[in-house]
Amino acid sequence: MINTLDPRYVIPTRSYMTDKAVPRIYDKVKDDVKSALSFAPRVALTCDGWISRATEAFVTITCHYVDEEWELMSHVLQTRAMHESHTGSNIAELLKAALEEWDLVSKDPAIVTDNAANMSAGMLHFRCFAHTLNLASQRALKLPAVARLLGRVRRISTFFKRSTTASHVLRQKQKLLELPEHKLITDVVTRWNSAHDMLERFLEQQPAVSAALLSNELRKTEKEVCTLCESDITSAEEIVDAMKPMKIATLVMSKESSPTLSVVAPLHAQLIQDFQESRADSEIVKEIKAAICQDLSKRYMDQQKETMYVCSALDPRFKALPFLPDDEREEIYLRITAEARRIQELFQEEAKVIPGEEDNHVEDKDDIPASPPPKKKKDLCCLADLLGSTYSAGPAVRHRTTQAQAEEEMSRQTMHSQDEESSFSESQTQGTFHNHFTDSVQPLIELIDSLRLIGIDKDIDLPSIAVVGDQSSGKSSVLEALSGVALPRGSGIVTRCPLELKLRKVKKGQWSGTISYHGHKETFYDPLMVDNLVRKVNAKVKEMIEKYNEMHRGRELLTFSNFSEFERVIQDHVAALQEPAMQTLKDVREIVQNKFREICNLCFVQYPSLKCNVSKKIDEIQLKQEAKVEKRIEEFIHMEQLVFTQDKVLQKKLDESDIHQMTGLERYENLREDDMVLNSKGCALLDTRNLVPEKLALYYEIIYQRLTDYVPMLLILFMLKDAAKTLRHQMLEMRNGADVVELLKEDSDQWRRRADLKQRLERLTKAQELINNRH
């Protein structure tokens, strides 16, 4: 094909691709990555050992750093085969070789690995918290009761995964029960969250799984696989709920978009607190909590925890360190102060200018070519951003000591965290916004979610926000979550009436709010009045709706004023149609079944086995369809409300009836005193409630005629289409089955006639050959 398109083109050989093309691309990408890493002041490495399906051992090393745009970047440096023993010394040698190859020795890299003993012996490093969560969770999953339940669910999931018949039956049950058509999940030994996913998916599909296992197709073939009892289902639900915090924590720590070291300490403390036993816990939940608590409590007990506390204190989200006692918190603050003083003194030493050198620099500044500033200048700028107005590269630094600057910055840090705590308690009653972090909304909302995820419910300063949307779009919930003002909810309370809710930030002045409806507008100045005012307005709107219904309900029905009586009588009439409808359904089923049998007899008359199997499937499909349609009819008959229509047919019937042919005098003479009503002006009007039975009879006559004419045809069409689709699917499965040869065997008489014809054809062919040879 390529030669036809362009005969001059020569396809590269395999040796060219492996020896020249791919190495050339690798060298180019490697140079680009090296160039990017050269500008990074610090890097972090992640190291993971794994085994391929071919049982070959590999070690993958990934590098992470923050670029000049303050974005976290990641590069996979290498994946090397590890033929040697996976000892700590061999892994350390591999890491040292990688650092030298990529020129990262001077970057003072931090290394994150899993918690294997050989990795711990390789170097002094921080343990991966996600792997720590995995180990703690695995310990809980190895409990006898949990492991036994996981084994049963795993056996069921594996059965449906390897059996095509079981998968097909499960899909049928999912459609019948209107469940999501999801496949069952089988867990992986090395990933605990896969066991959580397996249980969660099993509970989602448990009704369909039980129905499939109890079906005739599977009960005969797989007798060893059985459904779980009620206590097992309850235990599975409790396990899923108990392990949910570990699942969320694992997902948070597995993200690569942001550094996570500062999150480890607060998350570790919060998990230990969440997994404390309570009286309401069942025995299996208590065992799970005890196992996880015991495993997590022994982690991060060495000198690494102090470094993690420092990282959390430097993170604006956790700088208050609420999970630490007061003495440990003060000790961490003192350590940060001392470290800040040391770093600033170091930069001051590097920034000193030799006397007389400054003048030369000024005189020759025009001769200096444009070039990127030294990296230490960027470090100075970063430090200035960190310390704010307390840091300056000018002479003002000499007026205060380094110790004083560090203490002042640490004091400002702690004071800010205390202000946040006090403002949080006030915001629950005031619900006002503050004046910080006004650049964008989305990062702050994500920050709120991260704090609440680990149990820290803090108020965050937000900019002006307007929530605009249609009804039922969630405006009230958004404003409640952001502002702290609780909008009223409950029975009879309509919170979706406003089409637009706005919240505006005011830097100065008194807080105010406005509520309006139907041209009315009311302004108030106390946030606590929101609840009462909304309830008051909702009550007025509800009263208006009830008044409208009382005046106009039923007036849209032609010539009917008493809607409740109309609705009751029509429902009684429709309920009387249930038995005829069921009989019609049986007649329709027989029509459809006979039609399919005729087609089956016509097409498969020479194949008795196939004809017998198809006939059985037709009967099964029709029985299932009858049950499905019968259920639909019952739902229609027993529905609480019916939709009534008025059209020209009813109008024509009313015009032709005796009701409209009566003269005005006859109508008046036939009325009783109770039938006379007065309008707003005191004039007597005609109330036709005594004519309701006659009108209902006309309306019912039309409905009955339409049901008699249309419903059977619709049922036949529905059952034909659905039965044809189902039968086609099952026929295709029969064709792919193992007994297809047996099904396609012909009738014995037909087979003998075919054999006789074949023999006669052979004799005639030989005779023809002899005749041709003689001539």
d(CA 711, CA 585): 9
* Cβ–Cβ < 8 Å for 150, 141: yes
Residue bearing the bigger pLDDT, 215 or 76 = 76
Q: What are phi and psi of 60, to 5 degrees?
A: -110, 130
Q: What is the pLDDT of residue 497?
A: 43
Model pLDDT for residues 117-127, shown as the tens digit of each residue: 555 554 555 67
pLDDT band per the 50, 70, 90 thresholds, residue 482: low
Type of residue numbered 546: E
Q: What angle do CA 357, 358, 359 make, to 5 degrees?
A: 95
8 A C-beta contact, residue 475 and residue 467: yes
Q: Which fold has domain 563-738?
A: Four Helix Bundle (Hemerythrin (Met), subunit A) (1.20.120)
pLDDT at 458 over 50: yes
The pLDDT, as a whole number, for residue 22 is: 92
Lowest average pLDDT, out of 196-205, 262-271, 539-548, 719-728, goes to: 719-728
Among 329-333, 618-622, 676-680, the range scoring the smallest mean pLDDT is 676-680
Q: Which residues contact 478 (CB under 8 A, 6 or more apart)?
A: 467
Of 35 and 561, the structure prediction assigns the larger pLDDT to 35
The pLDDT score that the predictor gives to residue 660 is: 47
Reply yes or no on whether the pLDDT at 259 is more than 70: no
Domain ranges of the chain: 39-127, 133-301, 312-354+374-432, 438-543, 563-738, 745-775
Cα–Cα distance measured from residue 405 to residue 387, given in angstroms and rounded to the nearest whole number: 9
Task: Give the pLDDT band of residue 769 (cuts 50, 70, 90).
Answer: confident
How big is the chain, counted in residues? Answer: 775
Going by the DSSP 8-state scheme, the letter that residue 73 receives in this structure is E
- Least confident stretch, 101-110, 426-435, 441-450: 426-435
Residue/partner pairs of 433-437 with CB below 8 Å, 24 or more apart: 433/461, 433/462, 433/463, 433/464, 433/465, 433/483, 433/503, 433/505, 434/461, 434/462, 435/461, 435/505, 435/507, 436/461, 437/461, 437/462, 437/463
pLDDT digits (tens, 9 = 90+) for 635-694: 555 543 344 444 455 555 556 555 444 444 444 444 444 444 433 433 333 344 445 555
Q: Model confidence over 513-535: pLDDT tens digits?
A: 788 777 788 888 887 787 778 78
Parallel/antiparallel/unpaired status of strands 676-678 and 684-686: antiparallel
CATH 3.10.450 at 39-127, yes or no: yes
- Amino acid present at 702: I
What contacts 113, CB < 8 A, 6 or more positions away? Answer: 46, 47, 48, 119, 122, 125, 127, 128
Examine the pLDDT at 204 and tell me if it is beyond 80. Answer: yes
Distance CA 478, CA 501 (A): 10
Q: Which two tokens stand for residue 305?
A: 């925890």
Enter the tokens of residue 533. Answer: 């005012």
User: Which H helix or E strand runs over 64?
Assistant: strand 57-66
What is the C-alpha to C-alpha distance for residues 73 and 257, in angstroms, rounded to an integer?
8
Place 112 in a pLDDT band, splitting at 50, 70 and 90.
low
Tokens representing 204 are 């989602």
Q: Taking the CB of residue 183, how many other CB atoms lie within 10 A of it?
A: 14
Instruction: State pLDDT tens for residues 343-388.
Output: 887 777 766 544 444 444 444 434 434 444 444 444 333 323 333 3
> Cα separation of 192 and 250, whole Å?
10
CA distances from 538 to 417, 526, 527, 551, 702 (A): 40, 19, 18, 20, 41
Say whether pLDDT at 747 is over 50. yes
Strand (E) or helix (H) holding 25 = helix 22-38
Give the CA distances from residue 188 to residues 138, 150, 154, 198, 250, in Å, rounded to whole numbers and listed in that order: 11, 12, 10, 10, 16
Across 502-516, b (16+ Cβ under 10 Å) vs e yields ebeeeeeeeeebebe
How many whole angstroms separate alpha carbon 69 and alpha carbon 27? 26
Measure the CA–CA gap between 476 and 472, rounded to whole angstroms.
Answer: 9
Going by C-alpha positions, the residue among 465, 127, 110 that lies closest to residue 299 is 127
